[in-house]
Structure 1
Amino acid sequence: MGLLDSVLSAVGGQQQGGEGLGGLLGMLGNQPELLQAASSLLGNDGANGGLQGLIAKFQQAGLGDVVASWVGTGANQAISGEQLSSVLGSDALSGLASKFGVDPGALAGQLSGVLPGLVDQLTPNGQAPAAGLGNGGDLMGMLGGLLKG
């Protein structure tokens, strides 16, 4: 089973009451560059302006309902790697992929598999925290602690 299949399986299990955060973080823990890329996107110190900035980018791209489903308490809408690439922009995605030594298309596909479940788990009350999720280092530490726990 490929990485993307495993990630999608973990996220699908979470949506159906399965593995939940443990399965999702286990997958992220096996791919440190994916964990770093996700933290870079969601951290307040990232180029996107953290979760609030990412939400704004989704809204500008006409996909506000998709990201709202991840933050909200209902089922998470899926997103393709191509859609995520259009939200982030090819330059930003290429820069992120270069930073972690991975292919931009592969990174977009992998992130599209983990971001819905990750955002969902980081916003358990159905709302994005006004202060964001913290900086990338804090977020990495929190996710790393969950991986060990």
Structure 2
Amino acid sequence: MGLLDQLAGQVMGSLGAQQQDPVPQGELLNGVMAMLNNAGGLSGLVQKLQASGLGDQVASWIGTGDNHTVSGNQISDALGGEHIAQLAQQAGLEPEHAATGLAQLLPQIIDSLTPNGQIPEGGALDQGLDFLKGKLFG
């Protein structure tokens, strides 16, 4: 479970480093985990983002090089305003703040879940996400 421990540490470190940010990323991380479950896992979310015109950015997150950035507007367009509004309401944020937070979190999470430049197949990812949720949210 070394990869998952590392991912949890990276995400939690990122959250601690960004406490002065008005976006409570801990709340958004829970939303990202739900999004992964609802989108058909990591591959489903990646396909949705690619189909929405973010193929180059997503490829950089999966690949082993530097991660390309995305804006909150790009994430909102890719995932849909209704989905962002729902996530924002759950996190107690304005939709534009939720989209900005997701634009910061998604590259980190997708990059961490694809350490070898490939999307893992099968139930191992689902087990890993469950483990990560348990570590982060008790």
TM (norm. structure 1) is 0.70
User: Residue by residue, what CA displacement relative to the aligned partner does 1:102-144 show, whole Å, maximum 9, x if unpaired?
Assistant: 2211011011112112211111111111237317xx6264155
Q: State the number of aligned residues.
A: 124
Identity of aligned residues (%): 45
In structure 1, runs of 5+ residues without a counterpart are 1-19
Q: What corresponds to 1:27 in structure 2?
A: 14
What is the TM-score normalised by the length of structure 2? 0.74
Partner of 1:109: 100
**Alpha carbons of 1:143 and 1:28: their partners in 2 closer, same or farther (altered >3 Å)?**
farther
Let me know the Cα RMSD of the aligned residues.
2.7
Residue 145 (structure 1) aligned with residue 135 (structure 2): yes
Aligned to 2:89: 98
2:30 equivalent to 1:36:
yes
Aligned ranges 1:44-59 → 2 under 5 Å: 45-46=37-38, 48-59=39-50
AA of the residue aligned to 1:51: L
Match of 2:121 in 1: 130
- 1:87 and 1:70 map into 2 onto residues whose CA distance is 16
Which has a greater percent of helix? 2
Structure 2 Cα separation of the partners of residues 28 and 37 of structure 1? 14
1:75 to 66, 78, 86: 66
Q: Is the 8 A contact 1:26 1:147 kept in 2?
A: no
Following TM superposition, by how much is the alpha carbon of 1:61 offset from its aligned partner in structure 2, in angstroms? 1.2
Specify whether residues 107 and 125 from structure 1 end up closer, same or farther in structure 2 by C-alpha distance, changes over 3 A only.
same
Mapped partners of 1:121, 1:71: distance in 2: 8
